[in-house]
Amino acid sequence: GQSLEQPSEVTAVEGAIVQINCTYQTSGFYGLSWYQQHDGGAPTFLSYNALDGLEETGRFSSFLSRSDSYGYLLLQELQMKDSASYFCAPPSGGNTPLVFGKGTRLSVIA
Amino acid sequence: NAGVMQNPRHLVRRRGQEARLRCSPMKGHSHVYWYRQLPEEGLKFMVYLQKENIIDESGMPKERFSAEFPKEGPSILRIQQVVRGDSAAYFCASSKDSGTDYGYTFGSGTRLTVV
């Protein structure tokens, strides 16, 4: 089985830093993915952590701690266009499709 | 290099009709996944297919829903005798392999409205 926990909503100010946490339980473990989805749009792949530690891609970073079954997405220098829903997805097997939670809705305010 | 193509973008059906949603994966991708999303909800997995094979259909309702990915042509998600509760956005995603990096590419979705 699999369970995911993310905050449902986060609000942050333009230019600030925000961290979106994800805790999970899966029967197996193959890493942690993050996706972004704007209202009315398609989900887009942001990052994948296969190993513990921090992965940085521009203003976005993703962290994983396998021993704690925990990860987070860090968004720096927030821009209005970052307002979107963010989903973490831990695959539980090599041939198992991604299962998404309800996601975190980020609102960036001026 | 076109991305994942879904059509139609919007589909309106009366209760009891059939809905047929199409998905062409990215070039070079042989794995296709269908997800359903209700307003303000997350993405709910429905079915995972490879060419001519259903790999995992654990998220598909047992009745009225079917999916295929033929040797030639797009993947099709078929919903028979639609009901109001089927109204949702249906997203298709594809990947190159079973997902060692789990980078799915999603299509723009089909918004199904049942009236």
Question: Chain A contacts of B108, Cβ < 8 Å?
Answer: 41-42
**Could you read off the pLDDT of B84-112 as tens digits, one per residue?**
999 999 999 998 876 556 589 999 999 99
Can you give the pLDDT at residue B99? 59
Can you give the pLDDT at residue B101? 63
Q: Do B102 and A48 touch (CB under 8 A)?
A: yes
Report the percentage of chain A scoring pLDDT > 70. 91
**Distance in angstroms between the alpha carbons of the first and the last residue of chain B:** 36
Report the percentage of chain B scoring pLDDT > 70. 95
Q: Which residue has the higher pLDDT, B12 or B72?
A: B12
Residue of B nearest to A90 (CA): B102
Residue of B nearest to A6 (CA): B42
Which of A41, A44, A98 has its CB closest to that of B102? A98
Mean pLDDT score, A75-80: 97
Mean pLDDT score, A47-58: 91
Of A64, A84, A80, the residue nearest A72 (C-alpha): A64
From B31's Cα to the closest Cα of chain A, the distance in A is: 10
Confidence of residue B1 (pLDDT cuts 50, 70, 90): low
Compute the distance between CA of residue B22 and CA of residue A104 in angstroms, rounded to an integer. 29
From A87's Cα to the closest Cα of chain B, the distance in A is: 8
Return the half-sphere exposure (C-beta side, CA atoms, 13 A cut-off) of residue A44: 11
Can you give the pLDDT at residue B4? 95
